[in-house]
Amino acid sequence: MSKKNSRSPQTAPRLPMSEVPLPGIDPAWSTTVTVASTAAVEPVRGRKRRWHLLDNGPALEKAGKTPRGLILAVHGNPTWSYLWHSVLEAATDSDQPWRVVAVDQLDMGFSERTELFRRLEDRVQDLSDLTAELGIDTADVPVVTLAHDWGGLISQGWAQEHPNIHAATILTNTAVHHDNAEPIPTALQVALNSALHQPLTKETTAFLDTTLALADPAPSREVKKAFKAPYRTRERRQAIANFVADIPAPKDHPSHAAYERIAGRMSAREVPTLLLWGTNDPVFQQRYLDDLLRRAPHADVHRFEGAKHLVGESRDIATPILTWLDEHFGDGLPLTQQHREKRANASDDFSPFFAELDARRTDDSPAVVDMGPVAQTMDGTAPALNVERTVTWAQLSSEVDRLGAALLRTGVRPGDRVNLMVPPSSLLTTLIYSCLRIGAVIVVADQGLGRKGLTRALKGSSPDWFIGIRKALVGAKALGWPGRKISAVSLDPVTKKALGIEHTIPELLDSVTTVNHGELPVVDPDAEAAVLFTSGSTGPAKGVVYTHRQMAGMRDAIRVTYGLRAGTGLVAGFAPFALLGPALGAASVTPDMDVTQPKTLTARALAEAVMAIDATAIFASPAAISNVLTTADELAPAQRDALSRVNLMLSAGAPIPEALLERLQTLLPAAELHTPYGMTEALPLTDVSLNVIRAAREDAQMGFPGAGNGVCVGTPVHGAQLGILPLDHSGAVIDEITTEPGVTGEIVARAPHAKDHYDRLWITERISDQTPGWHRTGDVGHFDAKERLWVEGRLAHVINTSRGPVTPVAAEHAAESIPGVGRTALVGVGPQGSQTTVAVIETEPAPQKPGLAPADLADRVRATVEFATGIRPSAVMVIPEHPTDIRHNSKIDRAALSQWAERVLSGGKMSAL
């Protein structure tokens, strides 16, 4: 950066800063500069004012580093430039450094106390005066604004006055507008109360203390002292009170006109934008993020689940900021550009996901059959159990078109997000295909996430519309789920008003008798089609975004891999597969079960579903299969006969032991049993049949190269490619793809039906796509010499011992081969690099309480695992039932087990999880 064009401020005299330790701050960054103020509030134009800054420019110059650009960092209330200490440190130490100028706004931090009430326009002008004095306005480098809290509005005001040099925007929890449709946040209402305003903001440190409490985890005592250092006396806190009083939401507020002008101009000029957001901020809530996205729909977003207002103090924001800057101003390639290139290279051969409905408009054969409690008619009446509702292809096609037209006329637009809270059924099928038909984006988060998980998912995805059954609408009202409300079933006027219902699906269908197909838009293959949420078994559920092209790719991969054709009858006993039947041209039936609890599927319910449409294919989860086998003795002869005619069985969600498949084969003697491997991000990726599993086991026993040490999941499905990123001795991933047999590492994949991106999780997306063109799955495994993939577990569950990384699956399967031992989890305890292995097992019968396994059982488990894998668990523990995710009822929460085992083995209380 040229000294000529961007001056460094003079060396600072020692400030009161020296009296308090400031963790993370290099004293050399502390500088002051005297600036002539032209703010309207000044009684004398040009009055000199002293600013305090944290500026790493001189440190970079001394180190001989040339910055790529300048970050102008603006704090809010009641913080100061210390807010950006992690960004300053990272930007200084980076191989691709940036100069960071973090300001203390006048009357804040260690800048001068002017004793004037500086309003929004004054502060925007103050910042302009400062950048002119520093030579930033004429520097030939990109200037990126970084702001938090009310610094967001001020920095945007500055950016709009400096369009020639402002190159990008980075914002953490902030707001640029409040439309007064809802009250301002409670914390600000309290602080604005005339009786409490001065006592909370100036007379005491209450407002400051409350702000510092809005970090999770909480800052250290030293960090809290650093934030409070400039505000020790009531006189030095006057601007905290003034800042709160200048909140310009009311129309008659002195700063309202400036505030509206800045907010209105934000969308007029598109610059690269990054939004880093703490989701649990009680002040700058989700609605303010939604508002920013309406003004900057091109923005990259990352939502830090659980983080609060001081997101930069509780989460690493410096690393993603520098990575993002490198992509936009350095040698990297922005993810948005990567996605554009991926779409540009996509095949032109596109058939919409719903195309089969157009081909079956006059077909009176069954398309969708509901069984039991989901057999709910469109008028909202609920029939008794064990009844059916059948919708023909002609009826389904007509209802999809009519409902699509009705939704358009109601105000739903292509690109609008529509959350569907309806059980898998013909009704849900109609809703899904109607939304896809008109280009609306379906948001699907099942009840298996639980109340907190659902709330987190729905608020994070911000649907514009919410369509649900009565129970879901009651929950939406109570929990504040977003979206304009439409009832899936008829409701009485009183209930509609109480729940804020604008329309009902029966009313919308009745409002359209004929459809002019010209009014139904042609979908863009590369527009968003769906946001599907992961199970939440490895952390908070993530929204996975699919385009229409990728949805069609999923359909085609399944159709080609399994030979599913129009006329096939399938039983959808696993919620994700419920939407596939009509796309495949297959008649589908949802069994009498709670699809959010797969283990509720019984053998009789499965058989009755098969009989309803003479189904030849079944989709079900491992937990569902397990319960079907448990209840198989209840089957009548006719039901067993129906199951004997099934010729294809697919199970996804988790690997199934060979022994369980062998038992299933006796129940479905004519069926090919397949267990495709995949994930919400790409389903399926591989396919394996029971016959291949048997052959793979025999190969492993014979020492065939690469066979064994995991679960064989077969070979890639139609269109998919797989590779391995090897693990080094420390368990780190080496970013060099291999398919060499026997090399263990992270599994990477690419396919036409792989996700487009994670929803509002830029950092997560960046990690998953850091091997260009490939999705990093987070699973570990290896290939054998026959190109079959063996999955060894999750990357997060690799145990890093002093002898190298240990993957858990093979050891777990070895333990489960012991009579009386049920599901097993091998977890690590101790520090990374020297962890020891602990086997946590379920037993039959289940132990009365968790704890150490009996000595004889522990010896058998150790010996069996060591013989099979070379791993000898240091401890064996028993547990009545493993903690699992809700969606699949099968994915063990190993992180919770590891923490529990370490606590107990360290002498902690022998308690339940």
Task: Kindly report, residue by residue over 76-99, the tens digit of the pLDDT.
Answer: 999 999 999 999 999 999 999 999
Find out whether 716 and 677 touch, Cβ atoms under 8 Å: no
Residue 264 pLDDT level (bands cut at 50, 70, 90)? very high
The CA distance from 353 to 30, in Å, is 59
Find out whether 152 and 175 touch, Cβ atoms under 8 Å: yes
Residue 149 pLDDT level (bands cut at 50, 70, 90)? very high
pLDDT at 882: 84
Q: What's the pLDDT tens digit per position in 843-869?
A: 988 888 888 999 999 999 999 999 989
Give SS3 for 535: coil
H/E stretch holding 800 reads strand 799-801
**Is this model's pTM higher than 0.75 or not?**
yes
Mean per-residue pLDDT, 15-43: 87
Write phi, then psi, for 421 (nearest 5 degrees): -115, 70
Residue 17 pLDDT level (bands cut at 50, 70, 90)? low
Q: Is the pLDDT of residue 382 over 50?
A: no
pLDDT at 375: 46
The CA distance from 913 to 911, in Å, is 7
pLDDT at 887: 46
| Residues pairing with 620 in the sheet | 573, 651
pLDDT cut 90: percent of the chain above it: 76
3-state class percentages of the chain: helix first, strand second, coil last, to nearest 5:
40, 20, 40
pLDDT at 574: 74
pLDDT at 598: 79
Mean of the per-residue pLDDT values of the chain: 90
Encode burial over 887-911: b for 16+ CB neighbours within 10 A, e otherwise: bbbbbbbbeebbebbbebbeeeeee
Strands 366-371 and 388-392, how do they pair? antiparallel
pLDDT at 104: 98
- Name which of 13-27, 591-605, 715-729, 817-831 the model is least confident about: 13-27
The alpha carbon torsion through 361, 571, 793, 743 (nearest 10 deg) reads -60
Residue 761 pLDDT level (bands cut at 50, 70, 90)? very high
Q: Is the pLDDT of residue 383 over 50?
A: no
Please report, for residues 241, 247, 845, the alpha-carbon distance to residue 204 in angstroms, rounded to integers and kept in the order given.
11, 20, 61
pLDDT at 305: 93
- Name which of 262-266, 382-386, 733-737, 862-866 the model is least confident about: 382-386
Q: Is the pLDDT of residue 688 over 80?
A: yes
Q: In what order do the strands lie in the sheet with 775-783?
A: 677-679, 682-687, 711-716, 789-794, 775-783, 745-750, 721-726
Mean per-residue pLDDT, 198-207: 95
Helix axes 622-630, 603-613, angle to 10 degrees: 100
Tokens of 75: 């704090």
Mean per-residue pLDDT, 220-226: 95
Mean per-residue pLDDT, 357-371: 92
Tokens of 218: 């909480």
pLDDT at 377: 42
Mean per-residue pLDDT, 718-726: 97
Strands 528-533 and 441-444, how do they pair? parallel
Q: Is 224 exposed, middle or buried (0-12, 13-18, 19+ CB in 10 A)?
A: middle
- Name which of 148-157, 534-543, 867-876 the model is least confident about: 534-543
Q: How many CA atoms lie within 13 A of 48 on its CB side?
A: 4
Write phi, then psi, for 662 (nearest 5 degrees): -60, -40
Mean per-residue pLDDT, 379-400: 72
pLDDT at 335: 66
Mean per-residue pLDDT, 172-191: 88
Q: Is 270 exposed, middle or buried (0-12, 13-18, 19+ CB in 10 A)?
A: exposed
Q: Is the pLDDT of residue 695 over 80?
A: yes
pLDDT at 531: 96
Write phi, then psi, for 776 (nearest 5 degrees): -85, 115
Helix axes 855-869, 809-816, angle to 10 degrees: 130
Q: What's the pLDDT tens digit per position in 625-652?
A: 999 999 999 999 999 999 999 999 999 8
Mean per-residue pLDDT, 236-246: 96
Q: What's the pLDDT tens digit per position in 523-569?
A: 999 999 999 998 766 678 899 999 999 999 999 999 999 998 888 99
pLDDT at 3: 40
pLDDT at 343: 61
Q: Which domains does the chain have, with CATH numbers?
A: 16-332 (3.40.50.1820), 363-379+391-523 (3.40.50.980), 799-905 (3.30.300.30)
